[in-house]
Every structure is written in C-alpha cells, then in structure tokens.
C-alpha cells in the first residue's frame, strides 16, 4: 500500500469478503488468443495461494446469449485482491484489433480491452459516461445462468452490461447486478492509499464543461478541482479528478490537440 505521509491514515486492504457485485468492484480485462494456455500459466500461483480464483473454471458464455455467445472468460484475484479477467473472443466478436494477424510464436496475451466497474443504476451511469464525458455507449446486454454464476462466484447472478468506448484504446464496462446480488456501497472516506482505490485515466478536451456539469450527472469533482500540471507531465497540461455516481475515480487529462474523451 502507498505511504500517504505524515498525518494521514494508513491504507485499508480490500474487504476479504468482496464480491463481484459490490460497488467498489473493478476489474481489468486481458484479452488472450488461448485462454486455456493463459489460465494454465496461473495454476502454480493459484496452487501456492499467491493468486485466488474467482471463477470455478474457464467459462464459455452460452449460445442463447447472442451478444456474448462463444466468448471464453475466467476471473481471478492478484496477491492484493484486485480482480483480473482473461477473455478470449471468437471470430466476429470484440474489437477488430484483437483479430489482426500475429506471428505464430507471439505471447498469447494481446492487451487490455476494458476496465469493468460495478454500479447501482445503469441509466444513471450511462448518462454520466455518455452524455457527461462523451464516451460511446454500445447496446447493453444481460448475462445470467449457470455460466455466469461459475464465472463470478455468485449464486443466481444476473448482470446488465453496458460497454462504453473511447475513440481509441481501452473502454469501460458498467456492471449492474440485479437481485439477489445487489452489492454493498463503497466504504466511506476512501483514499488513494486504499487497495480498493482504482483510477481510470481518460484524455479529454473540455474539462471546464465536464467539471461544471458533473454534479448534474451524480458525479463529484474531487480536490483540488481543475489543476494545472507541471512540465514533466507533458503532453498533458491540465487534469481533473472525478468520482463517478458510484464513487469510482477517474482522472481526466487535457493536452493541446486532444479532441473529445
């Protein structure tokens, strides 16, 4: 954990009973060309207790779920309790960049597709990220069934998923878990030294407008507000810290020539 310095409280670990539906939940999704091979690399660390499995085993999402059919997924936690997801897209699904030709001997991990966050209200979060920040909201879907239970380590899992994309790079997915798996709110008094603290960074060009309208979308501008960055942060010249409607933290960065989020 980070040392917050004199006069600040020490960082808090993630609650040991954290679940995928709790509103502090966030994961990074790593795309692989061979999920079985990637998961096999984890086995020694899982067996040693360094990593912790969330999923019972790699799961193939069912054919009835048209948007996600054929996707293979597996979730686990790192040594500090942060959740990671391995994902393998079948042909025709996922960002086209994951299907570009690659050397046969290349490592099977391709990169980060998105960061997923648990939220309480799909409509509220969609409005904030799409209308407030300018991300592109793709059609929402709903995952459920035994495969989702085994993937998330829950019982009776039913989750609404909304993909949000930037013009380039990784995206954000919001996860709204429905009863009986509605999660707990974020702990009070969060701080950067806590292991539950994640921060998504986005490039933007309209920081004044975002700061002025954040509260209308249920978000919060965090201290110190709109800030000028030092020369060492080049090409970024200004920044803005926000908490989204569920408390997930964002850092928006602005540079000359950047247009939109």
DSSP string, the chain: -----TTSPPPPPPPTT--TTSTT-EEEEEEES-HHHHHHHHHHHHHTTSSEESSSS-EEPPTTSTTTTT-EEEEEE-TTS-EEEEEEPPTT-S-GGGGS---TTS-SEEEEEEEEEEES-HHHHHIIIIIIT--EEPPPEEEESHHHHHHHT-SS-EEEEEEEE-SSS-EEEEEEEPTT---PPPPSS--TTSTT--EEEEE-S-HHHHHHHGGGGT-EEPTT-SEEPPGGGTT--EEEEEE-TTS-EEEEEE-TT----
199-254 shares the fold of 26-177? yes
- Residues with Cβ within 8 Å of 55's Cβ and at least 6 positions away in sequence, in order, are 73, 74, 75, 76, 150, 151, 152, 153
- Tell me the fold of 26-177: 2,3-Dihydroxybiphenyl 1,2-Dioxygenase; domain 1 (3.10.180)
Q: What's the pLDDT score for residue 188?
A: 83
CATH no. for 199-254: 3.10.180.10
Q: What's the pLDDT score for residue 38?
A: 95
Domain ranges of the chain: 26-177, 199-254
Positions in the chain whose pLDDT score sits under 50: 257-260
Q: What's the pLDDT score for residue 187?
A: 86
Q: What's the pLDDT score for residue 260?
A: 47
Q: What's the pLDDT score for residue 258?
A: 47
Please report, rounded to a whole number, the percentage of residues in the chain having pLDDT higher than 70.
96
Q: Looking at the chain, how many residues does it have?
A: 261
Task: List Cα–Cα distances, 179 to 21, 37, 75, 182, 234, in angstroms.
Answer: 10, 34, 21, 5, 46
Residue 215 φ/ψ, nearest 5 degrees: -60, -35
Q: What's the pLDDT score for residue 81?
A: 95
Asked if 85 and 29 count as a contact pair (C-beta separation under 8 A), the reply is yes
Which is nearest to 173 in space by CA: 27, 67, 72, 68? 27
């Amino acid at each position: 954990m980070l040392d917050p310095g004199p006069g600040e409280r020490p960082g808090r670990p993630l609650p040991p009973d954290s679940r995928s539906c709790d509103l502090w939940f966030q994961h990074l999704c790593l795309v692989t060309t061979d999920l079985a091979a990637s998961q096999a690399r984890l086995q020694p660390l899982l067996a040693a207790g360094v990593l912790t499995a969330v999923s019972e085993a790699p799961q193939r999402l069912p054919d009835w779920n048209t948007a996600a059919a054929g996707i293979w997924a597996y979730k686990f936690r790192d040594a500090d309790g942060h959740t990671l997801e391995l994902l393998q897209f079948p042909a025709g699904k996922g960002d086209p960049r994951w299907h570009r030709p690659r050397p046969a001997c290349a490592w099977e991990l391709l990169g980060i597709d998105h960061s997923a966050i648990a939220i309480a209200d799909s409509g509220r979060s969609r409005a904030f990220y799409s209308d407030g920040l300018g991300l592109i909201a793709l059609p929402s879907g709903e995952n459920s069934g035994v495969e989702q239970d085994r993937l998330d380590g829950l019982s009776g899992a039913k989750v609404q998923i909304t993909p949000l994309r930037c013009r380039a790079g990784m995206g954000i997915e919001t996860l709204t878990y429905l009863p009986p798996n509605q999660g707990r709110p974020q702990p009070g008094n969060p701080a950067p030294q806590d292991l539950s603290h994640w921060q998504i960074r986005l490039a933007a060009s309209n920081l004044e407008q975002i700061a002025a309208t954040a509260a209308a979308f249920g978000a919060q501008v965090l201290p110190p507000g709109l800030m000028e960055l030092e020369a060492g942060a080049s090409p970024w010249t200004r920044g803005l810290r926000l908490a989204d409607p569920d408390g997930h933290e964002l850092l928006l960065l602005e540079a000359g020539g950047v247009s939109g989020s």
